[in-house]
Amino acid sequence: MICKGAKNLGEKYTKRLLPDFLLPYRVIRSDKILEAQQEAQQEDSEELGKVCSLLGCIDLRTARKYLEYGKKSIKKASLAIAERLSHFSSPLYQ
């Protein structure tokens, strides 16, 4: 995106829009983090080698960091969905 007003003022005038499958300030795709989370849950142990290959990283610390980030994101999303769904009440229960 280009802001003509900022460009005329000599300030930063461009903004890069990233696709929504990328996480903010992260280089690993959110769908790959979810896939790695599911892989780790299915085998009942975090085989970080497989997780690294799914995420495209080579450092085990990076894999752990993204798995933890994924867990936190899932918890937040679950709470937000539950909160929104709680606002819809069935007419049967009123």
Residue 87 falls inside a structural domain: no
Residue 34 falls inside a structural domain: yes
Residue 29 falls inside a structural domain: yes
Does residue 57 have a pLDDT over 60? Answer: yes
Bridge partners of residue 22, in order along the sequence: 29
Residue 2 falls inside a structural domain: no
The total domain count for the chain is 1
C-beta of residue 26 within 8 angstroms of C-beta of residue 60: no
3-class state of residue 29 by DSSP: strand
Among 73, 72, 28, CA closest to 51: 28
Residue 36 falls inside a structural domain: yes
62 lies in which domain range? 22-73
pLDDT of residue 44: 47
Q: What is the pTM of this model?
A: 0.59
18-47, pLDDT tens digit by residue?
665 666 666 777 788 888 888 776 554 457
pLDDT of residue 47: 72
